[in-house]
A = this chain, B = another copy of it.
Amino acid sequence: MKDKVTIVLFSGELDKALAAFNIAITAATMDMEVTMFFTFWGLNVIRKSEGSTKGKGWMRWMLKVMNRGGSQHLKLSNFNMGGLGPWMIKKLMKDINMPQLEEMIKITHDLGVKMLACSTTQGLMGLDKDSFIPEADPPCGAATYLDKANNAQINLFI
């Protein structure tokens, strides 16, 4: 039986997403079974960049405008500097031949890692299944997460 890892990605920040996917990819290459759960701002990481927020009213419209999805639009938790920080980090990653987040997401998917959106925050933010990238798996609730985590050796909340 495979060793198991679960990762909740709550944060929608580039640096935390890089940490999460780096751990996920490394664990999967070590033949561990990895499940990632994306909740709250973390949903942005697996949203299509053109994926729009559904639902009526000005609040969801504001969410749509401000809380832009897509892995290439993420901010840094520190030194974001209006987008200069993320640009710099991406450049430095390229300099040391590290794959970018978009490639890491594809690699993660190809390694068989499950990428599950949290159904509760998905509903809260007016997202539906068309909002997510094709690599994302069908959304699920906290009970599914807890079942997985209860059988895993490593459980992280990022």
Contact = CB atoms under 8 A, between A and B. Distances in A.
A107 interface: no
A27 B143 CA distance: 7
Given A78-B12, A91-B59, A98-B124, A149 B142 contact: no
Contacts of A30: 143, 146-147
Interface of A: 3, 5, 8, 10-12, 15-16, 18-19, 22-23, 26-27, 30, 32, 39-41, 59-60, 62-63, 66-67, 77-79, 88-89, 91-93, 96, 98, 120, 123-126, 141-143, 145-147, 149-150, 153-158
12 contacts: A8-B156, A10-B15, A10-B16, A12-B78, A15-B40, A15-B41, A41-B78, A59-B91, A89-B124, A92-B124, A149-B154, A157-B158
